[in-house]
Amino acid sequence: MIIVLKPHSAPEKEAELRQYVQDLGFTVQDIAGESTHMLGLAGDTSHLSPETFSRYDIVDHTIKVRESYKLANRRFHPEDTVIRIGDKTLGDGSLAVIAGPCSVESEEQILSIARDVANSGASFLRGGAFKPRSSPYAFQGMGMDGLDLLRIARRKTGLPIVTELMDNAHLDAFEKHVDVIQIGARNMQNFSLLREVGRLKKPILLKRGLANSIDELLMAAEYLMAGGSHDIALCERGIRTFETATRNTLDLSAVPVLKAKTHLPVVVDPSHGTGHWNLVEPMALAAVAAGADGLIIEVHNAPHLALCDGAQSITPEVFHTLMQKLHRVHDAVRMD
């Protein structure tokens, strides 16, 4: 629910109303319009009616928000969320590119790729240390050793690190050492994990589940935000459809749909979205044209030897050329 206040309401009356709302168990979010001031109420507001607030004469009217996500809703927060990590940004109108291998495989591998993508203009380094593999016999990632190698790569290149958390047992290590915590597609609705990660209040990259709707993705973001996190980026990474020509069907319409529904930055993953390295470039360019704030791209120095997702990984050379094309599309579509 949104409470629209009358113009020029007395601050002490407003404080009284806020206290009442908080006593009812809701979180209050300020929504400042051009000439109006509104209070957004997060929590289960289904039982509230306009009469609940009628004794406060500073209340002009109330608006019921139909969607179950509140804190992630653009109506509660009209201006875009911008995530800042050092001098790197996501969501401020620039194009943020997260690049790196699917998995960290060795010190030599991650350092070589990290240096290459940094030189080509990537702003974040990706690399899985804990991997969610469909087969229990497939490479499961280097675990904590992989995390240590990512930290070395960050130190040598200055790129903040983005890596996937799969287990509550690793919360402390991720809180200490990771810049952006990735919640993978398979864990998008792991609500106990979302609750715990949300409490860390760290930047999070939340990937859309393999068979989840856009509203379910927003609700997963709401779990993180209800825990106190604000810096959340949503990632479209392809969904399961009847189509078999690609690994997943990259739903690029999710970009403008999400941009309208939420203030959170939107990232597109053309690597998992297609499963084929030669489709990464066209879909990355299309994602930028569709208004994505960022991309996450798998880059490997020897894709044919990669322990995970080699078929969808591009080489540093292909990445370098792609970066130049991406900036040209980005410049072409932005208004300023």
Segment lying near Mn ion (by CB under 5 A), choices 58-66, 84-92, 241-249, 306-314: 306-314
3-state secondary structure 97-162: EEEECCECCCHHHHHHHHHHHHHCCCCEEECECCCCCCCCCCCCCCCHHHHHHHHHHHHHHCCCEE
184: partner contacted, choices ligand PEP, Mn ion, none (Cβ within 5-8 A by kind) = ligand PEP
Q: Among 170, 207, 261, 300, which residue sits at the site for ligand PEP (rule: CB under 6 A)?
A: 207
Nearest distance from C-beta of residue 169 to ligand PEP, angstroms: 19
Tokens representing 330 are 């980005």
Q: Does 269 bind Mn ion (CB under 5 A)?
A: no
Of 102, 290, 292, 314, the one binding ligand PEP (CB under 6 A) is 102
Query: Which residue's CB atom is positioned nearest to ligand PEP?
Result: 184
Residue 66: CB minimum distance to ligand PEP, A: 29
Q: Is 5 helix (H, G, I), strand (E, B) or coil?
A: strand
Residues 179 and 125: their CA atoms lie apart, in Å, by 10
SS3 253: coil
- The reply on whether position 231 binds Mn ion by CB under 5 A is no
Minimum distance, C-beta of residue 150 to ligand PEP, in the bound complex (Å): 13
Work out the number of other CB atoms within 10 angstroms of the CB of residue 178.
24
- Using the rule CB under 6 A, is 220 a contact of ligand PEP? no
**By the rule CB under 6 A, 272 interacts with ligand PEP:** yes
Does the footprint of Mn ion cover residue 309 (CB under 5 A)? Answer: yes
Which does residue 132 touch among Mn ion, ligand PEP, none (CB within 5 to 8 A, set by kind)?
ligand PEP
Closest CB to Mn ion among residues 154, 207: 207
C-alpha span between 63 and 53 (Å, rounded): 12
Main-chain phi, psi angles of 322, to 5 degrees: -60, -45
**Residue 287: alpha-carbon gap to chain centroid:** 15
Q: Is residue 300 within the footprint of ligand PEP (CB under 6 A)?
A: no
CA distances 278 to 227, 259, 275, 315, 318, Å, are 40, 27, 9, 11, 10
Residue with tokens 């401020």: 92
What distance in Å separates the CA atoms of residue 262 and residue 78, rounded to the nearest whole number?
8
- By a kind-dependent CB cut-off of 5 to 8 A, residue 300 interacts, out of ligand PEP, Mn ion, none, with none
Q: Which is nearer to Mn ion, 105 or 309 (CB)?
A: 309
Q: Which is nearer to ligand PEP, 53 or 164 (CB)?
A: 164
The binding track of 47-86 with respect to Mn ion, each residue x by CB under 5 A or -, is: ----------------------------------------
* Ranges within 159-188 binding ligand PEP (CB under 6 A): 184-186
Binding to Mn ion by residue 102, rule CB under 5 A? Answer: yes
Burial of residue 80, with CB atoms counted within 10 A of its CB: 0-12 exposed, 13-18 middle, 19 or more buried: middle
Footprint of Mn ion (CB under 5 A): 102, 309
Footprint of ligand PEP (CB under 6 A): 102, 128, 132, 184-186, 207, 237, 272
